[in-house]
């Protein structure tokens, strides 16, 4: 079974969309094998977005992630990365299809409700950051 990292971001938590998002994951028959709510430290947020360091959106993105609680999850299932990416929808609200999480609930590319790993490599890295207890380091 494939594992992916999913994070419900501070805007979705503030808007009380946690249950809606978790319900959609469960309805796709994916398993949430680990979950926790926390307000990320700046260090954790910077590590999470380290591939974007130096880009103009890095600082505001890190600040946003640290602005309140998030729900971090490890989701498992066959093709979980691709399935979750399709469920999440495009970062661009004009391209995010109705029926996707972003297509149904967001109008901002900066505050876009949810993050999902985009590859097995990023999933492994992100899971090790947010759930070090699940990795064999």
CB 5 within 8 A of CB 35: no
Active-site residue numbers?
115
Residue 136 CB contacts under 8 Å (≥ 6 apart), including other chains: none
Q: 113 — alpha (psi -120 to 50), left (phi > 0) or beta?
A: left
CB 45 within 8 A of CB 67: no
Q: 77 — alpha (psi -120 to 50), left (phi > 0) or beta?
A: left
Residue 87, helix vs strand vs coil = helix
């Amino acid at each position: 079974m494939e594992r992916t990292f999913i994070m419900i971001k501070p805007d979705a938590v503030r808007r009380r969309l946690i249950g809606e998002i978790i319900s959609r994951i469960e309805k796709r028959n994916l398993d949430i094998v680990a979950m926790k709510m926390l307000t990320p430290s700046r260090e954790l947020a910077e590590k999470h977005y380290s591939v974007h360091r130096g880009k103009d959106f890095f600082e505001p993105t890190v600040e946003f992630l640290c602005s309140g609680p998030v729900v971090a999850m490890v989701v498992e299932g066959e093709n979980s990365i691709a399935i979750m990416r399709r469920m999440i929808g495009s970062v661009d609200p004009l391209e995010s299809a109705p029926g996707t999480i972003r297509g149904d609930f967001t109008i901002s590319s900066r505050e876009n409700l949810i993050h999902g790993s985009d590859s097995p490599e990023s999933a492994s890295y992100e899971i090790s950051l947010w759930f070090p207890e699940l990795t064999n380091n």
